[in-house]
Amino acid sequence: MSHPVFLESPPWPRMPEGGRGEWPGYFAQGGPSLEANARIPLFWQALFAPDDLQQARSLDEFDPDSEAVELAEFREGATRAQLEATYPYLVAERDAALTRLLARRDALLGLVGERYRPIFDAFADYVRNAYGPYLLVRTGGLPDAEDATGWLSAQLQCLVALERSGEASAPLADDADELARAHDRDAVWLATGSGGGSDDPALAWPSLALRKAWPACVPLPRSSRPANDDAGDRPRYRPPSRLDNILEWLAALIFAAAALGTWFATRSLWLSALAAAVATVVTVWGLLWLKRER
């Protein structure tokens, strides 16, 4: 299941706010965008300090125009706590973030291994040349976004301690160990995320220089940003929202009800498996249909 997280460059030092109708303009501006799934890559984390951890309203994930129906359904079924819920995100000035990243280079490479130096240097150059004055990590896609403040704050504190002492404590040490053991073909994506299929060489990731220095990295296409001219015929999906989490839980309940209901009614394993399979196909198709842009 996809839980996308993005490193992007907003025009202001904060998240876009759906309540202000800012999402259409934000996406229309284009610009660099790196993506990871259900995680914040270590080299992204190294750009930020504990003070860069901010909070956004979950309701502001909705665009009131293009997602009016979804927003109304969410408001109708949500508790007061859900309506007031927030989640953490990261934002910083690019120049300060780059200074911080470079100050941590030797300590980080001491953890993950010297082979990551060309990836680290290429990533720093990419952020310097492709990004605007602010860096933003959009974390709304994390599976535990609303509960992520604690572990994310602890991770940023670990990076401060690493910069000062050169020693890493868990969970930072665990992330570094994962990179140290990664195969060459996975190293770039694990450390920095994957890039879009932009025709602009300045926005392409991995950069041309990194592809030459690290032949194992082959660009991965972004599902939300087609890499070729034929992609216009492919279905496009809206950004993830709180409604998606509710629908995923509902799909799981439908799956369980179909399997258990058939078992109690028939005491037949194969009929229960058949009912579960049918429920899976129907709910997956339904989720994809709801997420498609229309």
DSSP for 64-125 reads TTTTHHHHHHHHHH--HHHHT-EEEEEEEEHHHHHHHHHHTHHHHHHHH-GGGHHHHHHHHH
| Paired tokens of 124 | 């720093």
Per-residue confidence at 139, pLDDT binned at 50, 70, 90?
very high
Letter string b/e over residues 252-283, b meaning 16 or more CB atoms within 10 A of that residue's CB? eebbeebbeebbeeeeeeeebeebbeebeeeb
Q: Choose between 233 and 93: higher pLDDT.
A: 93
State the amino acid at position 46 in one-letter form.
Answer: A
Average pLDDT over residues 47-73: 92
Q: Work out whether strand 134-138 and strand 4-8 pair parallel, antiparallel, or are unpaired.
A: antiparallel
Average pLDDT over residues 239-261: 64
- For the chain, give the mean pLDDT: 84
Q: Choose between 170 and 46: higher pLDDT.
A: 46
Residues of the chain above pLDDT 70, percent: 79
pLDDT tens across 10-48, in order? 999 999 999 999 999 999 988 899 999 999 999 999 999
Per-residue confidence at 288, pLDDT binned at 50, 70, 90?
low
pLDDT of 100 strictly over 80? yes
Q: Choose between 241 and 279: higher pLDDT.
A: 279
- Tell me what pLDDT residue 67 has: 87
CA distance linking residue 1 with residue 126, whole number of Å: 29
- Tell me what pLDDT residue 95 has: 98
Most confident of 41-50, 80-89, 135-144, 255-264: 41-50
Q: CA separation (Å) from 203 to 143, 199, 206, 241, 268?
A: 28, 8, 9, 26, 56
Identify whether the C-beta of residue 255 lies closer than 8 Å to the C-beta of residue 275: no
Task: Provide the 3-class DSSP secondary structure of residue 45.
Answer: helix
Q: Where on the phi/psi map is residue 21: left (φ > 0), alpha (ψ -120 to 50), or beta?
A: left
- Tell me what pLDDT residue 223 has: 47
pLDDT of 197 strictly over 60? no
pLDDT of 225 strictly over 50? no
Strands (E) across the chain are located at 4-8, 33-37, 53-57, 86-93, 134-138
pLDDT of 230 strictly over 70? no
Choice among 139-153, 192-206, 217-231, 274-288 with the minimum mean pLDDT: 217-231
Listed in sequence order, the residues at least 6 apart from 189 whose beta carbon sits closer than 8 Å to its beta carbon are 36, 217, 220
Average pLDDT over residues 205-214: 91
Where do we find the tokens 């300590």? 107
Average pLDDT over residues 278-289: 65
